[in-house]
Amino acid sequence: MQDPDILLTERLRERGLRVTPQRLIAYRVLRRLNRHVTAEELLTAMAERIPNVALPTVYATLDLLEELHLVRRIATVGGTAVYDPMKEPHQHMLCTRCGAIDDLAVNVDLSTVQAAATATGFQPAGLEVVVRGICQTCGRRSAS
Ligand SMILES: [Zn+2]
Ligand SMILES: [Zn+2]
């Protein structure tokens, strides 16, 4: 796996953007957590390394990382965004009862969707499949 610092530095420089300690730490922490996190969770984890980081800064950094295709923003039930450090391509299952988001390891070819969107003049930045429903834990709870 490529060093997160080097990867982020390269991506920022390609765009002529500044490499700041905050950006490096945000991405490093995300990669270390290696799971879906909210901006608040990332802020808490970052606070151990770098004091006085404000939540709007964390959101701005996450937006930037998404633009650089280093994290993926996942739509959730309540509207709280969850961020996913890019791993192997995967999709998500979303529980509409408890809000849990699980990875779904599956290979889907979304190129026809992308092509159709492009044909309308739209510029797709990302495609995802979200399976909505009831997770196993909630399913068991309602069964008992
Ligand atoms: Zn659930
Ligand atoms: Zn995921």
For residue range 69-88, what is the model confidence (pLDDT) as tens digits?
899 888 777 778 899 987 77
Reference 139, options 93, 98, 79; nearest CA is: 98
SS3 call for 98? coil
Ligand nearest to the Cα of 103, by number: 2
Ligand nearest to the Cα of 77, by number: 1
In this prediction, residue 76 carries a pLDDT of 77
Using the predicted structure, report yes or no on whether residue 90 has a pLDDT greater than 70.
Answer: yes
SS3 call for 68? coil
In this prediction, residue 124 carries a pLDDT of 87
Q: Are 15 and 68 in contact (CB under 8 A)?
A: yes
The rounded Å distance from CA 90 to ligand 2 centre is: 6
Q: 112-142: per-residue pLDDT in tens?
A: 999 999 999 999 877 888 899 999 999 998 8
Ligand nearest to the Cα of 102, by number: 2
The rounded Å distance from CA 50 to ligand 1 centre is: 34
In this prediction, residue 1 carries a pLDDT of 58
- Mean pLDDT, residues 94-115: 91
The rounded Å distance from CA 93 to ligand 2 centre is: 9
- The structure's pTM equals 0.79
Amino acid letter for position 13: R
Using the predicted structure, report yes or no on whether residue 12 has a pLDDT greater than 90.
Answer: yes
Using the predicted structure, report yes or no on whether residue 49 has a pLDDT greater than 70.
Answer: yes
Measured in whole angstroms, the distance separating CA 63 from the mean position of its chain's CA atoms is: 10
The rounded Å distance from CA 88 to ligand 1 centre is: 24
CA distances from 123 to 13, 94, 115, 116, 119 (A): 23, 26, 10, 11, 9
Q: Looking at 5-9, 31-35, 88-92, 133-137, which range is the least confident one?
A: 88-92
Looking up tokens 């080097």 gives 6
d(CA 39, CA 21): 17
Ligand nearest to the Cα of 100, by number: 1
Ligand nearest to the Cα of 82, by number: 2
Neighbours of ion ligand 1 (CB under 5 A): 95, 97-98, 100, 135, 138
